[in-house]
A = this chain, B = another copy of it.
Amino acid sequence: MAKKRKSRERKKARKRKEIRMVGRDEIDSILEKYEKEKRIRIATICSHSALQIFHGAKMEHIETIGITTPERVELYKSFPNARPDELLVVEDMKHIIDLEEELVKRNAVLIPHGSLVEYVGSRIKRWKVPIFGNRNSLLWEMDKSKMRKWLLESGLALPKRWGEEGLKPPVIVKYHGAKGGMGYKILNELPARKKKEEIIEEFLVGVRFYPHYFYSKLLPGGYKAGHGRIELMGIDRRIETNIDEIYRLNSAGVYPATSFTVVGNLPVVLRESLLVKYLEMGKKVAEKAEELFGGIPGPFCLETIIDEKMNVKVFEISSRIVAGTNIYPMGSPYSDLLFHEPMSMGRRIAREIRIGEEKRKLKEIIY
């Protein structure tokens, strides 16, 4: 048995080795072509926050490319202010990876979002397409133990995990395979043992806030972090089914199985006295990213819980645009304090690319 496992692990290791990471030099030489030819384009997968990304790019006068399956073509053509200039249609999302050449030919910078993480996954390692931000940050997001290391070393407070000393109920049981929260459940006692596919961690008591950060090395001033600045672009609260209306049933003594599938978002603002804490958290994460894997230019989001003493814990990081920003295509209560135009996260990304192109600093914000 032990032998078998070892052999399996060796195989995996070999496979991992095979996926050679595309080098910064390779992407940089593509970016040099882009800077020479001008007319950079913004590309993204038609899902998640794509409408906002196209909408924002148009506001910054950058052409756009949507990557989509056939059944979404009509939708993405139907919003005039967010209609991509070109649609690349693939039969199946798993074929996105084959668009390498087509994208580079078009001077495309790919904006990563949750669907890229889902459909391309760790294959982004070897994908020779310029990706906005730092593709390393996506790999650190995908690998839960790396993510944990990153957040802990940033000095943030995290929920305790299975196996850690002091883990007490309530706990939440999550599943590796599950799509976005389906079937997650809260338990009021520690289970005797953990199944392989389960992730068991402390269920934090409090309320959730999802701050949207943008880390810029190209704009001066603002809230300093490393060699750049942290911008708080907005905050949302996720709506998860069925957990976020389960009280309606509970009120009648009905207790159905819970699920935490994200299906929407609400706009919120935070108590102003908590803002220092939130900007400091963003700063620490950005600075630690610099140290660990070369930085996190662009958008990211911390998934937080505030308890009754206003202590803040972080249970996850998304190292790219989150769908909660879709609430704010014309700016948020926070971006309005930062910019004089309606500034969505999508537009903010486009603007950073435009500035990067003008200042010939694309290499600092794209990999």
Residues of A within 8 A of B (CB): 47-51, 55, 71-72, 74-75, 78-82, 115, 169-170, 182-183, 185-188, 203, 205-209, 221-224, 229, 235, 237, 239-256, 258-259, 261-276, 279, 306-310, 323, 326-331, 333-334, 336-340
Contacts and interface: CB of A to CB of B under 8 A. Distances in A.
Given A74-B224, A80-B221, 14 more contacts: A47-B273, A80-B339, A170-B252, A185-B252, A207-B240, A207-B242, A235-B264, A242-B307, A242-B308, A244-B248, A247-B251, A261-B309, A327-B333, A329-B333
Contacts of A50: 272
A245 B240 CA distance: 12
A211 B279 CA distance: 29
A205 B256 contact: yes
Given A80-B221, A252-B188, A308-B241, A266 B266 contact: yes
B251 A186 contact: yes
Contacts of A207: 239-242, 244-245, 263-264
A263 B310 contact: yes
Contact of A273 (B48, B254, B272, B340): B48
Closest 10 CB pairs of A and B: A259-B308, A247-B247, A186-B252, A78-B223, A79-B337, A82-B337, A207-B241, A207-B245, A246-B251, A269-B326
Nearest to A223: B78
